[in-house]
Amino acid sequence: MKEAFGIVDLFSGPGGLGEGFCAFPGSQGGFEIDVSVEKDPVAHGTLKLRAFLRRFGSQFPPEYIDFMNFGGPEPNWSELYPREWAQAEREALNLTLGDPETETILDERIADIRRRRGDRVVLIGGPPCQAYSLAGRGRKPSDLGYVAHDENRHLLYQEYINVLRKLRPAAFVMENVKGMLSSSIKKRKVFDLVTEDLRSGGGSAEYELFPLAGSTELHEYAQPEDFVVAAEDYGVPQTRHRVIIVGLRRDLLSTMDHFEPPRLDAASRRTTVRDVLSAMPMLRSGISARDGLCDNVEDWKRIVALGAAKIAVMPNDLEGRAAQKFSELLSAVDRSRKIIVEKRMGAADGTKLPDSCPDDLRDWLVDDRLTRLSLHETRGHMAGDLERYLFASCWAAATGCSPKAADFPDGLAPKHSNWKSGKFNDRFRVQPWDLPSSTVTCHLSKDGHYFIHPDPSQCRSMTVREAARLQTFPDNYFFRGNRTQQYIQVGNAVPPFLASKIAAALHPVLIQIFGAATPSIDKIKMAAISA
């Protein structure tokens, strides 16, 4: 087995970026996480659990598979597998970057990594987007319009640069929101300031920056927009646009006469919501306790049926075939006896994907040992929202797109004085079957209005597992915490399937730099069939 490249993962969240890198085949000298850092204790719990599971390769402990299939209390891994759990605790650190204690611990770990790995190290991560309020630079407060409460955010970005300076990795990958391209400080683009910092490596090494989706021949003339990666172009069933900057150390590149810059290979077609969600078990929502009703299937069916009858007599702007289809969909649920969805939690035998799902993504998501999808449980909704969800999902199924605020009948409008001002245009957003979803964000933790399920008969927002599939987390990925915390972790993460493709694009370049043989593309097939 060839020597792996070490990974230092900052701002790790539940581990999406690291999961993708670790999926690269180890037999080819892939990637191993030496240390990951996450400050949120719940996300860190998820991160540590995944670090523990990686100790077993593709053969997860049978106790874990049973836990995923049957639920119940999570096993005590430190008692069952003390050696592997201790290794996970050493890898995944619950620390706050910027704290003096964290700096001391990281300095020791970086020194150890440099001794063991030398230059065969990659830094990955994405400082929180708020960090760009100061662009992470040590300028005078008066030069930047300094605001005191932004100081910690500034330090977060500076910690990424500090680690880059001390680690001097062969390469780094920085991910962040597209908004950094349009932000400015004192008439200077934040993107320009950030790339200056990255090119200088914090003052210890110089780096050449590469866009993964832009021109490979003229990367030195790349425009900021070239660094935007549209996840939907690379097999992710989600329109997620993020800035991804890859840096390679110039002194290492200078030893090569020629090399192929890293570049993502576009998928043959876009993956849709239908491709990953349509075969999942059908579920009903719950009923919010705020309505004073008991959460039972009879009341839920009655509310949905009454809502369908109410909507059927309301005027709308649909015409022709779209109007006919809308009416047909409503009539399918206008009587409670027609509604067949009764469960709020995913049942057994619902773990498969539809035939339309691309093979590589199918291999990535599915674990044949699972008989049940964990975290596939709905939350409660108010009766008024159930009516809006029903209208919106019927509209989307009839037209292929989600309705805007102006499309809702007055009788369904929520009690917002500026409902039709344009500020709430997408307040209720369906994710149509035959498109990639919109960007999965942590807002899902609040109310689910932006992620209404496309099937009118289910009349609900999406579950944690559905959001996780849109984010391309494998079905055997468990998120710790309560449901709100799980939604936040999923929404804040980098799609692991995309991260695996970034790793596959970067690895051949590193192999070139360090003089080893490049693996064939067939052997690079998403190995996170981690389970």
Catalytic annotation, residues: 129
Nearest to 395 by CA among 333, 454, 310, 451: 454
Across the strands, what pairs with 243?
176, 228
- In what helix (H) or strand (E) does residue 486 lie, and over which residues does it extend? helix 483-492
Torsion angles phi and psi, residue 334, rounded to 5: -85, -5
Cα dist from 410 to 356, 448, 491, whole Å: 38, 22, 32
- Decide if 265 contacts 463 (C-beta within 8 A): no
d(CA 246, CA 261): 10
- Per-residue burial over 14-28, b = 16 or more CB atoms within 10 Å of its CB, e = otherwise: bbbbbbbbbbbbeeb
Indicate the burial class of 288 (C-beta count within 10 angstroms; 0-12, 13-18, 19 or more).
Answer: middle
Burial of 136-175, coded b for 16+ CB within 10 Å and e otherwise, reads bbeeeeeebeeeeebeebbbbbbbbbbbbebbbbbbbbbb
**Residues near 407 by beta carbon (within 8 Å), at least 6 away in sequence:** 316, 317, 395
15 touches 93 (CB < 8 A) = no
* 3-class DSSP string for 343-398: CCECCCCCCCCCCCCCHHHHHHHCCCCCCCCCCCECCEECHHHHHHHHHHHHHHHH
Whole-angstrom distance, CA of residue 36 vs CA of residue 124: 9
Longest C-alpha distance within the chain, in Å?
74
CA distance 209 to 288: 50
> CA 445, 450, 456 angle in degrees (round to 5)?
115
Rounded to an integer, what distance in angstroms lies between the CA atom of residue 303 and that of residue 392? 16
49-74 burial, b for 16+ CB within 10 Å, e for fewer? bbbbbbbeeeebbeebbebbbeeeee
- Bridge pairing between strands 188-189 and 184-185: antiparallel
Q: What is the C-alpha separation between 498 and 494, in angstroms, rounded?
A: 8
